[in-house]
A and B are shown apart, each in its own frame.
Chain A
């Protein structure tokens, strides 16, 4: 099963490397990973989408917690959360198909961010499932290039008060 894990990490030399190394050393999956600044100075938020059975996910969370640079680890999967991803999709168009592509973009509340005489680039944001849907619909037109940001997520409502998932 897919899990979305949110972590706060020290914004130090090598912190990202340590996390990536841990995932590969332990053989855990990474579907997407995104990292950026937070409201707290020196702390970055990382959102990792991984998958595995309950025992593996428990190990993922524990191993992340064990790294000295991680300040807080939360598995958001069972929680009420907001998940978003941004995709830039460049699609080939011919005479006649341009309108269709723009319509599809509108249906998904996308934006046209670039166009030239051969292709049109759309910006789509939403939950990963929505991005997948857009990609599927645009596929027949010929996707020239695509860049996806990976999932970012935040828990809704009340803030987490305990920094680390308590054992036991």
Chain B
């Protein structure tokens, strides 16, 4: 059929035709004036589900949670002006953690752009440094190709957020609909296959290594390379340490897993980094929370860095052997290229010795309820197979330390941006994407209140999410720094006067809510929560107020200088 005979469609109709072809299942959004035409179309659409959030930041984190839990692109639809600006934190979060989302923002009619029109914001300009790319669609003819490009850009190469700004008049105007099968973007050609000579060289270096170490980041999870990683590590008996975003890439229950490294990483993991002779970074970016003082980080190691983003290589740390490519492909090639197994028996023994020297404590003898105990119990009860959506702060580190993740896409956390308020909405997004595993949102009492409006959304859709609040009545991580480095001036971190009654709050929203205050109450509360699978449930764990996360590398210090415990034990509150 030639274009002349094809019916003309409005921009709003074309929008949904595109989403249908992209296989979109869910849109997270809130209607408004600039997007009203889209919502008019949406009213009669049944091939996707629109999830009504309470706040656009919530919608954006939901899309992130969905994307991280499933690997698919998360979709956000908001109106112009405040609708658009409310998504900014979520977009920045997605950018820092390379999460594939497409954010559609309404915009004022094209002839009003730049006029300070009602609900106008230059969202393309505002989000420029925090998007992988963005588009303003001025002509309806450009809409279909732009949406095709947006999904392609968000999900390929190093994934990231893409913003598509939709002026209201464009959505009303008509054109014939053609969805481009192929797209050509001259300036965008990600490298997927690693350079074969480099891979051969890497294989040789790893085989000859006496003390090799795999340092695994979120890239391994994003490229679904867990299987390849696990095979590679086990075949060659290579110890594996993971970043916050890498947790779950390799089973935490495997003896080769050293757990997390870095600021609050395991003592033995950081020791291994400092003593290894070949360090293989896989989809990781040498973030400052990982490396500590950069010029003391793995100084003697031969460094191999595999990443799909060339800019990640040698951004922070000089490497000896860079390999640009998709870590899944590169690992598969590495497995083939290995000339033999390295002899790591002595090295693993050494790591064992470090583990015995400073094991991770699980203190219960003094009778205080600690977060570490809560997480340890949860890990055991869920066999490390739940999807844990953490917030930001102390509890986030305790989850990373004590939960034994066994599967990829199980640990959803705001790592790069460190967005408090991430957990509640991200867990909602995850719950739409993953139906067969328990979804557990864990927040501190501070972060929980930063997006608690979305609790209403969870109730409205009766999502079976377990909302755990780790309540120490403090902004705990800031309090910890205040105690250690800021003269114990607990400036505005004591929330005891400011917190609501969380159980009553949950009750008011129609969510079964209860609390646990003692070690003895933890199991019962957890069992009760894990048995409720047809609606949300809220559990408040009232934990030791002045507990601190150890080990800890002070910011800017070498990761060899870890603080292992509170030097000056205080009277516990």
- B311 and A63 within 8 A (CB): yes
Cα(A95)–Cα(B134), bound, Å: 59
The reply to whether B185 and A68 contact each other, CB–CB distance below 8 Å, is: yes
Give the distance in Å from the alpha carbon of A66 to the alpha carbon of B198 in the complex: 22
- Residues in A with CB closer than 8 Å to B188 are 68
Question: B129 touching A62 by the CB < 8 A rule?
Answer: no
Nearest to B322 among chain A residues (CB) is A168
> In the complex, which residues 169-200 of chain B have their Cβ closer than 8 Å to any Cβ of chain A?
185-189, 191, 195, 198
A42 to B125, CA, bound (A): 22
Which A residues between 14 and 48 are near B, CB-CB below 8 angstroms?
A: 14, 17-18, 21-22, 25
Question: Are the C-beta atoms of A167 and B310 separated by less than 8 Å?
Answer: yes
Q: Are B311 and A62 in contact (CB under 8 A)?
A: yes
- Would you call A77 an interface residue if the criterion is a C-beta within 8 Å of the partner chain's C-beta atoms? no
Partner of B322, one of A21, A70, A167: A167
A59–B311 CB distance below 8 A: yes
Is B134 a contact of A66 with CB atoms below 8 Å? no
User: Which B residues are CB-close (under 8 A) to A66?
Assistant: 309-311
B115 to chain A, nearest CB (A): 18
> Within the complex, what minimum Cβ distance (angstroms) separates B280 from chain A?
16
Complex partner residue of B310 from A21, A22, A65, A163, CB under 8 angstroms: A65
Are B198 and A70 in touch, CB under 8 angstroms? no
Rounded to whole angstroms, the CA-CA distance of A67 and B310 in the bound complex is: 12
Chain B residues whose CB sits within 8 angstroms of the CB of A55 once the complex forms: 314, 318
CA gap between A82 and B311 in the complex, in Å: 29
When A55-B318, A67-B187 are in contact, do A62 and B125 touch as well, CB less than 8 Å?
Answer: no
Task: Report the minimum CB–CB distance from A34 to chain B (whole Å).
Answer: 20
User: Contacts of B324 on A, CB cut-off 8 Å?
Assistant: 167-168
When distances are taken between beta carbons in the complex, the residues of chain B under 8 Å from A63 are: 311
State the CA gap A68–B195 with chains docked (Å).
23
Q: Which residues of A contact B189 (CB under 8 A)?
A: 164
Within the assembled complex, what's the spacing in Å between the Cα atoms of A147 and B181?
48
| Chain A residues with CB below 8 A from B528, complex form | none
Cα(A69)–Cα(B188), bound, Å = 8
Among B129, B132, B186, B191, the residue within 8 A (CB) of A10 is B186
User: Does any Cβ of A come within 8 Å of B13's Cβ?
Assistant: no
**A14 with B136: CB separation less than 8 A:** yes
Complex-state Cα separation, A13 to B113, whole angstroms: 14
Is B234 on the interface with A (CB-CB < 8 A)?
Answer: no
Q: Tell whether A71 is near chain B: CB-to-CB under 8 Å.
A: yes
* A14 proximity list for chain B (CB < 8 A): 124, 128, 134, 136
With A14-B136, A59-B315, A65-B310 in contact, do A167 and B191 touch (Cβ < 8 Å)? Answer: yes
Q: CA of A17 to CA of B129 in the docked complex: distance in angstroms?
A: 10
Chain B residues in 8 Å Cβ range of A22: 129
Interface size, chain A (Cβ < 8 Å): 25
Could you say which residues of chain A place their CB within 8 Å of the CB of B124? 14
B374 close to A (CB within 8 Å): no
Residues in B neighbouring A70, C-beta threshold 8 A: 187
Contact present for B129 and A25 (CB under 8 Å): yes
**Distance between Cα atoms of A18 and B127 in the complex (Å):** 10
Interface string of B228-257 (1 = CB under 8 A from A): 000000000000000000000000000000
Q: Is B313 interfacial (CB 8 A cutoff)?
A: yes
Instruction: Say yes or no: is A58 at the interface (Cβ < 8 Å to chain B).
Output: yes
Q: Is B153 engaged at the interface, CB distance under 8 Å to the other chain?
A: yes
**In the complex the two chains form, is B313's CB within 8 Å of A71's CB?**
no
Contact A68 B133 (CB under 8 A): yes
Taken residue by residue from 313 to 325, chain B's Cβ proximity to chain A (1 for < 8 Å, 0 otherwise) reads as 1110010001110
Q: In whole angstroms, what is the CA distance A59 to B309 when docked?
A: 12
Interface residues of B in 195-212 (CB under 8 A from A): 195, 198
Q: Report the bound CA distance from A68 to B162 in whole Å.
A: 11
- Say which residue of A13, A17, A58, A68 sits within 8 Å of B187 (CB atoms): A68
Quick one: given A55-B318, A58-B314, A62-B310, are A21 and B128 in contact (CB under 8 Å)?
yes
Q: Mark B543-557, 1 if CB is under 8 A from A, else 0.
A: 000000000000000
Query: Which residues of B are found within 8 Å of A25, using beta-carbon distances?
Result: 129
For the complex formed, measure the closest distance between the CB of A43 and the CB atoms of chain B, giving whole angstroms: 8
Name the residue on A nearest B318 (C-beta). A55
Q: Chain B contacts of A71 at CB under 8 A?
A: 186-187
Within 8 A of A (CB), among B317-363: 318, 322-324
The residue among A9, A163, A168 with the most chain B CB atoms within 10 A of its own CB is A168
Complex alpha-carbon distance, A75 and B132, angstroms: 23
Chain B: CB-nearest residue to A65: B310
Closest residue of chain A to B191, judged by CB?
A167
Chain B positions 477 through 505: 1 when the CB is less than 8 Å from some CB of chain A, otherwise 0: 00000000000000000000000000000
User: Closest approach, in angstroms, between the C-beta of B447 and any C-beta of chain A?
Assistant: 27
B437 CB to closest chain A CB (Å) equals 35
Q: Which of B140-164 contact A (CB under 8 A)?
A: 153
A59 and B198 CA atoms in complex are apart in Å by 21
Residues on the A chain within 8 Å of B322, using CB: 167-168
Cross-chain contact of B313 among A9, A17, A167 (Cβ < 8 A): A167
A70 and B315 alpha carbons, distance in the complex (Å): 20
| Contacts of A72-113 to chain B: CB distance below 8 A | none
Q: How far is the CB of B472 from chain A (nearest CB, A)?
A: 36
Determine the distance from Cα of A33 to Cα of B279 in the docked complex, in whole angstroms: 40
The 6 closest A-B pairs by CB, nearest first: A62-B311, A25-B129, A68-B133, A167-B324, A71-B187, A71-B186
A14-B128, A55-B314 given. 16 additional CB < 8 A pairs?
Answer: A9-B187, A10-B187, A13-B136, A22-B129, A25-B129, A55-B318, A58-B314, A59-B314, A59-B315, A66-B311, A67-B187, A68-B187, A69-B187, A163-B186, A167-B313, A168-B323
Between-chain CB contacts (< 8 Å), 9 pairs: A10-B187, A17-B125, A25-B129, A58-B314, A62-B313, A66-B310, A68-B133, A68-B188, A69-B187
